[in-house]
Copies of this chain bind each other. A is one copy, B any other.
Amino acid sequence: MSSAPVLVQSPMSKLPVRESHCEGRPLSALLCPRSVAVIGASRSRGQLGGEIFHNMLANGFTGAVYPVHPEARSIQGVRAYKSVLELPEPVDLAVVVVPKGAVARVAEECAAAGVKGIVVISAGFAEVGEVGKTLQDELLAKVRAAGMRMIGPNCLGVINTNPAVGLNATFAPSWPPAGKVAFCSQSGAVGVAILDFAKQLGIGISQFVSIGNKADVSGNDLLEHWEDDPNTSVILLYLESFGNPRRFMKVARRVSRKKPILIVKSGRTAAGARAASSHTGALAGLDVAVDALLGQAGVLRVGTIEELFDAAMLLSNQPAPAGNRVAILTNAGGPGIMAADACESNGLVLPPLTPQTERALREFLPKEASTRNPVDMVASATPDFYNRALSLLLADENVDSVISLFVPPLITAPLEVARAVRRGMAGTNKPVLSCFMGANGVPEALETLREGRIPSYTFPESAAMALARAVRYGQWLARPEGTVPELANIAPDRARKAIAFGPGAERQERWLRPDEVRELLAAYGIQAPRTLFASSEQGAVDAARQIGFPVALKLVSDTLTHKSDVGGVVLGLEDADSVGEAYRAIGERLSRRGLQDQMDGVMVQEMVRGGVEAFVGVTQDPLYGPLIGFGIGGVNVEVWKDVVFRVHPLTDRDAREMLEQIRGVKLLDGYRGAAPADREALADALLRVSRMVGDLPEIRELDINPLIARRPGKGVIAVDARIRVG
């Protein structure tokens, strides 16, 4: 084994110098500082202040860095100052790594010295409880008063690999390669692992920010900062919580039209349990709001850090594919099958190739080769085969992207194949992914692929999963943005009056009475069946005659919310005798359970026959606001939990997508001879409900089940609804 000299390549030689974008933006002082003070810098490596100062010196920082230390004359060979006030020039950024009790005083000094931003590494603030929270609030107040910005406290620091900056104000042991991927991590510990992993995988990072307790600068601020950063083409987030989810949604929805945002959102188990007395509340699992929010904002959620990087590797190097049709190119059958399976199980399709492509492939491939997709060129495939086949596949109009697999047999040099793959993709605007399996001679091949901006994966499954995410992003970009439409027949004032709290019962949580529910629905243009209240057998019979047979009887009770559970619903009553009998029977069933006192009377209701039973529900998430759900109605909702959620406010596109995304969508099409459902009216009802809960924040929960959808053009009718206010 010969010991070759190790070339440490200066980051300066890699990327063009760009200074302009750094200036005059809100976070410039923090992320692109021209000069930095490290307050609490230490001589001792192995202490935070020592590591940070070392990292500041070691990674090509293009400005001046000043150590601040109460006693030392110099730190790691650099002249030290006793206070930030004594520095020879005002600095943009101060990195603060002093004991927590001293941070506020240091911040004041920074303000006095004209520092524009501080990164507070020190811990012991909000993350340790109430006392720390108070300390943090005091610190934030001082920072805000001075017009400074702050990252942290309790963070790992910030990195900017742009050679025009060369900032490593962290105590992390790894300095990642420079590149186009920006990363924001809420956890410092995860950040350490992320930087290390990025380095191992060769993922190029533009900026890295550990936001810690995010007292001032949040993930939202960083999204806005990276939105127009020409050095950043993909944004990755590791978040455990959203401070302001509505702002996140607004910002992320805008930014994700310009560059992909990928997130690992952790902390599902830490989420507080949501009140779950209604169907909707119980259905909306703890994480449903987060999924809805991210989906509506076009943010790609992935499960693990590995998947995050796999997808980032693709999206930072290749265009988003125009569709989900993948061609697979391989020199071995097994990996081709593996890749095909992985593509299909990730929702991608392997289209047939055009006859022209197949013919052109047959011209040079051996007869044992398969010219169908996956194209298996067999082990004798030469680099030239890769070049020509890849060109042909990319030119095929049935193909949106190509995964190129290679297992090194003995005859072919991986490096030559890597070069051929690069040549083969010249001039395409379709993404190409590669998978070079097995290690023999591969490192140079991987380097060649990397230089050619071709992401490479150890196994085909990771490639397929990453590609599926890129397809999803491409689809997001292609779809028109939805709007929150104007709606006719809306009377918010009438609705407010209907549910106005009496002077006594103010703010009391309660279920609305049936007449209030009907009034509310009417005020938002949602049709309900004709209904009369009756509190006696004779009253029920009279009401039924007035409405016209057949009718349904439904128990009215302030306390019993699931009426069918107590035998409180009788449907399809065809004549007066049946109505009278049903009224008595409901009373008797309650008596048998000792619940006779809970019966206030019944609603006598027009029977709505036929149609598709749908479900619309709303639950309030304490953090994310109203969550609106749609599904197939009846007991199906609870048994199969086939409900799709969105965060309020719904756009027209959201409403339409909700209908499409339930598993039971075929029931809307007129299943097994039944009439199809009025989808327009269903989507309209969703928009009306969204508007209603937006106008009336006192609505805590709402279930319409069933919302019966008639034939197209015939509208929907809310047969049963429950609304809780508070």
A565 to B565, CA, bound (A): 32
Question: Contact string, A563-592, partner B, CB cutoff 8 A, digits 1/0?
Answer: 011110000000000000000000000000
Q: Which residue in B199, B408, B461, B565 is a CB contact (below 8 Å) of A672?
A: B565
A636 to B635, CA, bound (A): 11
Q: Which residue in B186, B268, B335, B641 is a CB contact (below 8 Å) of A341?
A: B268
Docked-complex contact A189 and B306, CB < 8 angstroms: no
Docked-complex contact A671 and B189, CB < 8 angstroms: no
Docked-complex contact A337 and B270, CB < 8 angstroms: yes
Which residues in chain A, 513-542, are within 8 Å of chain B measured between CB atoms? none
Judge whether A411 is part of the interface by a CB distance below 8 angstroms.
yes
Residue numbers in B under 8 Å from A566 (CB-CB):
673
Known: A187-B334, A671-B635, A672-B564. A46 touches B174 (CB 8 A): no
Q: Tell me which of A73-81, A311-319, A389-397, A436-444 binds B.
A: A436-444
Docked-complex contact B672 and A562, CB < 8 angstroms: yes
In the complex, residue of chain B having the shortest beta-carbon distance to the beta carbon of A374? B269
Q: Tell me which of A445-453, A597-605, A659-667 binds B.
A: A659-667
Known: A350-B269, A672-B565. A193 touches B437 (CB 8 A): yes
Judge whether A235 is part of the interface by a CB distance below 8 angstroms.
no
Judge whether A51 is part of the interface by a CB distance below 8 angstroms.
yes
Q: From residue A126, how far is it (CB to closest CB) to chain B in Å?
A: 12
A189 to B304, CA, bound (A): 28
A470 to B614, CA, bound (A): 41
Docked-complex contact A266 and B440, CB < 8 angstroms: no
Docked-complex contact A437 and B407, CB < 8 angstroms: no
Question: Contact string, A337-358, partner B, CB cutoff 8 A, digits 1/0?
Answer: 1101110110000100000000
Q: Which residue in B128, B174, B331, B636 is a CB contact (below 8 Å) of A438?
A: B174
Docked-complex contact A337 and B240, CB < 8 angstroms: yes
Residue numbers in B under 8 Å from A672 (CB-CB):
562, 564-565, 635
A632 to B638, CA, bound (A): 14
Docked-complex contact A266 and B334, CB < 8 angstroms: yes
Q: Which residue in B46, B340, B438, B632 is a CB contact (below 8 Å) of A410?
A: B46
Residue numbers in B under 8 Å from A338 (CB-CB):
187, 190, 264, 266
Judge whether A676 is part of the interface by a CB distance below 8 angstroms.
no
Docked-complex contact B461 and A304, CB < 8 angstroms: yes
For chain A, the count of residues having a C-beta within 8 Å of the partner chain is: 86
Known: A197-B458, A639-B663. A189 touches B333 (CB 8 A): yes
Judge whether A364 is part of the interface by a CB distance below 8 angstroms.
no
In the complex, residue of chain B having the shortest beta-carbon distance to the beta carbon of A666? B639
Known: A6-B1, A48-B410, A337-B240. A196 touches B438 (CB 8 A): yes
Judge whether A127 is part of the interface by a CB distance below 8 angstroms.
yes
Judge whether A282 is part of the interface by a CB distance below 8 angstroms.
no
Docked-complex contact A439 and B46, CB < 8 angstroms: no
Which residues in chain A, 1-57, are within 8 Å of chain B measured between CB atoms? 1, 3, 6, 46-48, 51
Judge whether A622 is part of the interface by a CB distance below 8 angstroms.
no
Known: A240-B334, A266-B334, A306-B459. A193 touches B407 (CB 8 A): yes
In the complex, residue of chain B having the shortest beta-carbon distance to the beta carbon of A185? B334
Judge whether A192 is part of the interface by a CB distance below 8 angstroms.
yes
Which residues in chain A, 251-304, are within 8 Å of chain B measured between CB atoms? 264, 266-270, 303-304
Q: Which residue in B190, B306, B379 is a CB contact (below 8 Å) of A437?
A: B190
Docked-complex contact A334 and B270, CB < 8 angstroms: no
Residue numbers in B under 8 Å from A1 (CB-CB):
3, 6
Docked-complex contact A334 and B186, CB < 8 angstroms: yes
Which residues in chain A, 483-534, are within 8 Å of chain B measured between CB atoms? none
In the complex, residue of chain B having the shortest beta-carbon distance to the beta carbon of A406? B189
A51 to B408, CA, bound (A): 13
Docked-complex contact A193 and B459, CB < 8 angstroms: yes
Docked-complex contact A173 and B440, CB < 8 angstroms: yes
Q: Which of A48, A124, A266, A566 has the most CB of B within 10 A?
A: A266
A376 to B1, CA, bound (A): 44
Q: From residue A541, how far is it (CB to closest CB) to chain B in Å?
A: 23
Residue numbers in B under 8 Å from A303 (CB-CB):
345, 461
Q: From residue A690, how far is it (CB to closest CB) to chain B in Å?
A: 26
Judge whether A183 is part of the interface by a CB distance below 8 angstroms.
no
A313 to B173, CA, bound (A): 28
In the complex, residue of chain B having the shortest beta-carbon distance to the beta carbon of A171? B410
A81 to B362, CA, bound (A): 41
Q: From residue A709, how far is it (CB to closest CB) to chain B in Å?
A: 15
Docked-complex contact A196 and B337, CB < 8 angstroms: no
Docked-complex contact A190 and B51, CB < 8 angstroms: no
Docked-complex contact A187 and B368, CB < 8 angstroms: no
Which residues in chain A, 223-262, are within 8 Å of chain B measured between CB atoms? 238, 240
List 15 additional A-B contacts (Cβ < 8 Å) besides A189-B335, A240-B334.
A48-B410, A124-B368, A173-B439, A190-B335, A190-B437, A192-B407, A193-B335, A193-B458, A196-B438, A266-B337, A267-B337, A304-B461, A305-B461, A566-B673, A636-B636
Pairs A–B under 8 Å by Cβ, sample size 8: A124-B368, A187-B334, A189-B332, A189-B437, A193-B459, A268-B341, A640-B642, A641-B663
Which residues on A are within 8 Å of B, measured CB to CB?
A: 1, 3, 6, 46-48, 51, 123-124, 127-128, 171-174, 185-190, 192-193, 195-197, 199-200, 238, 240, 264, 266-270, 303-306, 331-335, 337-338, 340-342, 344-345, 350, 368, 379, 407-408, 410-411, 437-440, 458-459, 461-462, 562, 564-567, 632, 635-636, 639-642, 663-664, 666-667, 671-673
